[in-house]
Amino acid sequence: MTDRLKGTKAVITGGAGAIGMAVARAFLAEGAEVFVTDYDDATVAQAVDALRAESKPAFVNGAAADVTRVDAVSAMMEAAVDGMGGITALINNAGTNARGSLVDLSADEIDRVIDVNTKGVILCTQAVIPYLKGADDASITSTASQAGKRGWAQIAVYCASKAAVIGFSRAMAVELAPAIRVNSIAPGHIRDEGMAWDGFADRKRADQSLDDFSADFATAEIPLGRLQSAADIANGFVFLTSREASEITGDVLNIGGGVVMD
């Protein structure tokens, strides 16, 4: 790689999932130091071990944290600073979903989606700001979604939570300028770990392989005719965190093959 992120000290929430791991790998490959966090100790330990095995001798560490709790987020940021000597970039990637008609969702399901997807982004951003102020080329980039830009049935609360991430990121871009750049990324249908197929199973024929269904789905739904990978999304995070994006703030980068074009 090209050391595009040399000197970057990044905290990645949702760091043990498909996108989070892809972002961590891409950052490490570009010379960054990485601190990953996710919902439980075992998940984080497994992710850190895998990243260390792949990325020696780069610095990588992590800690479990509930991004919906102020005390947990604060402790996580302190642990990241202790490990890396500072923070220059935050990747808000923790997320969840609840699929179903709105009338069928429980209050607990609604709360969980809003708490993780929206409140978690807000709390992590709030906690990291004091550490980013004064950092060289500081940035915050959050995972939004194509669903935050258009409506999809059965995921209304998810759509709302991701639209909120976009609005919040734009507000923070104004509030934190010029010291900290703030952007978001709107992924499309991701093929890794079956993420694209949550809720689409009823459209797959019994005699159809997943690869064939994937190809048919992409041809029908995506202008570029292909699904995106977690690595595709990670490339966007690398770009928006790098100095190549030093003049970009308040923006939403679509990485969805043309599903949404605004």
Beta-bridged to residue 13, according to DSSP, are 37
Tell me how far apart the alpha carbons of residues 81 and 29 are, in angstroms, rounded to a whole number.
21
To the nearest 5 percent, what fractions of the chain are helix, strand and coil?
A: 50, 15, 35
Answer whether 160's CB lies under 8 Å from 149's CB: no
- Active-site residue among 158, 168, 197, 217? 158
Answer whether 235's CB lies under 8 Å from 241's CB: no
Answer whether 148's CB lies under 8 Å from 165's CB: yes
- Does the active-site annotation cover 39? no
Strand, coil or helix: what is 141? strand
Beta-bridged to residue 142, according to DSSP, are 92, 184
CA dihedral 20, 23, 53, 96 (to 10 degrees): 0
Helices (H), the chain: 18-29, 41-55, 70-84, 107-114, 120-132, 156-176, 210-221, 230-241
Burial of 90 (0-12, 13-18, 19+ CB in 10 A): buried
Cα dist. 38→52, 64, 251 in Å? 16, 5, 26
Answer whether 20's CB lies under 8 Å from 65's CB: no
Active site residues: 158
